[in-house]
């Protein structure tokens, strides 16, 4: 009889221990409640909730989703109820179904907006990390405009750093010449970690209408096709900074998680796959021990240390 040895899936992100490295990425998991109706989301390491702004946002006009080979385009535009509604309604509701620290995705149109969201979320004990989204390509003001310039990125991170004691994670855009330059600027400004990557800028054309499919013409491309780009970014960033990196982009199975961690990630976010298969995170976590044994990995710590 073959006795399968236990494996250690624990990891640590900015001083907070996770049962496993699998996280749901912001924008693909709402504020958690919808998925809690399908399975026990406490199986997750954690998740990053929907991008949150100072005021409520309706989002971009439709159509704002387009299918692509091995991926999708989205131009949702940070639709959310605003930070006060998140604090008063979403966080108490989440506490009923999720007993772990959660990651807040912080957005804004200027550094002061980011600071306002961070300040409002500061008293929420369940929020363990602030993921500062300086990389969204689907808003007219802020977002990717900050994440493609080292000084602008540093300005946002510095402003948020001054108003919170929580770990600050900078979510970076791949739509740059040298992502390590942005990562170094964020680290110097006080970031405690990096998430890499957000979506790539792309578009599709409706052949019958001879017009872009998306109402805003361009949107963020995500899905399995971007995995090699995301992996490369994680590998480069991990060698450029001392702070931990969260890998994100095209992850869809346990092997992808291991590959991200071998590249240097401390934790791994699952994004678009949640929209294809709402049980994706659960399935990946459940299959991770077998994948670790297959490749002779006793502890995930040995991959990311």
Q: Which residues are catalytic?
A: 136
Backbone angles phi, psi at 266, to 5 degrees: -90, -30
Residue labelled with tokens 């021990």: 289
Which of 176, 220, 174 is closest to 197 using CA atoms? 174
Q: How far apart are CA 147 and CA 222, in angstroms?
A: 17
Q: How far apart are CA 294 and CA 291, in angstroms?
A: 5
Question: Facing residues of 195 across strands?
Answer: 171, 246
Q: β-strand 65-68 against 71-74: which pairing, if any?
A: antiparallel
Q: Count CA within 13 A, CB hemisphere, residue 138.
A: 31
Which of 197, 131, 195 is closest to 168 using CA atoms? 131
């Amino acid at each position: 009889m073959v006795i399968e040895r236990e494996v250690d899936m624990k990891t640590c992100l900015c001083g907070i221990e996770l049962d496993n490295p699998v996280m749901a990425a912001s924008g693909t998991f709402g504020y958690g409640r919808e998925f809690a109706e399908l399975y026990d989301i406490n199986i997750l390491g954690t998740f990053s909730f929907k991008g949150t702004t100072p005021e409520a946002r309706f989002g971009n006009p439709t159509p704002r989703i387009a299918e692509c080979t091995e991926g999708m385009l989205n131009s949702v535009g940070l639709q959310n109820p605003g930070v006060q509604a998140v604090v008063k309604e979403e966080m108490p509701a989440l506490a009923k179904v999720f007993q772990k620290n959660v990651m807040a995705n912080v957005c804004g149109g200027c550094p002061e907006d980011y600071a306002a969201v961070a300040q409002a979320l500061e008293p929420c004990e369940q929020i363990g990390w602030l993921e500062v989204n300086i990389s969204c390509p689907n808003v007219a003001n802020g977002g990717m405009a900050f994440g493609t310039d080292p000084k602008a990125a540093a300005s946002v991170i510095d402003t948020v750093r001054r108003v919170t004691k929580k770990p600050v994670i900078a979510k970076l855009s791949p739509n740059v010449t040298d992502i390590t330059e942005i990562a170094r600027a964020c680290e110097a400004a006080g970031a405690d970690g990096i998430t890499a990557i957000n979506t790539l800028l792309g578009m599709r054309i409706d052949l019958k209408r001879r017009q872009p499919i998306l109402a805003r013409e361009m949107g963020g491309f995500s899905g399995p096709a971007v995995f090699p780009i995301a992996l490369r970014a994680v590998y480069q960033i991990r060698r450029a900074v001392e702070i931990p990196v969260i890998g994100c982009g095209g992850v869809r199975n346990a092997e992808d998680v291991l590959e991200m961690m071998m590249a240097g990630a401390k934790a791994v976010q699952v994004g678009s796959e949640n929209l294809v298969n709402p049980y994706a995170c659960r399935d990946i976590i459940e299959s991770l021990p077998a994948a670790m044994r297959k490749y002779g990995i006793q502890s995930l710590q040995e991959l990311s240390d």
